[in-house]
């Protein structure tokens, strides 16, 4: 079980990035959260099997149809006791 915090840069707000992230995370059976940041980026934390977390990072580099991803940075985070994936407002 691994947990990673991911920041996505580009045109990632107002393009259903959070909703698409939640859908993809649930498909991969990951738990965590996603939120818009004041600086225009999207931040998420995902936890699950390492292979699935890595798949999520690769998905983040593309994002949903109307997004434009310029960069994705991530770091290892402390695993939390979560049971679902949530959009944080």
Per-residue pLDDT tens over the stretch 5-64: 999 999 999 999 999 999 999 999 999 999 999 999 999 999 999 999 999 999 999 999
The whole-number pLDDT of residue 46 equals 98
* Known catalytic residue at 81: no
Domains of the chain and CATH, by start: 2-87 (3.30.70.100)
Which whole-number Å values give the CA distances from 18 to 32, 69, 84, in the listed order?
A: 12, 13, 15
* Known catalytic residue at 18: yes
The whole-number pLDDT of residue 31 equals 98
| Global confidence as pTM | 0.96
The whole-number pLDDT of residue 40 equals 98
The whole-number pLDDT of residue 70 equals 98
Catalytic residue (choose from 36, 68, 81, 82): 36
């Amino acid at each position: 079980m691994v947990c990673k915090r991911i920041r996505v840069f580009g045109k990632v707000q107002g393009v259903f990035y959070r909703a698409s992230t939640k859908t993809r995370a649930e498909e991969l059976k990951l738990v965590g959260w996603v939120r818009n940041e004041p600086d225009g980026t999207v931040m998420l934390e995902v936890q699950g099997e390492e292979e699935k977390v890595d798949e999520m990072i690769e998905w983040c580099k593309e994002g949903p149809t109307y997004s434009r991803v310029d960069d994705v940075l991530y770091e290892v985070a402390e695993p939390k006791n979560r049971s679902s994936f949530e959009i944080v407002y």
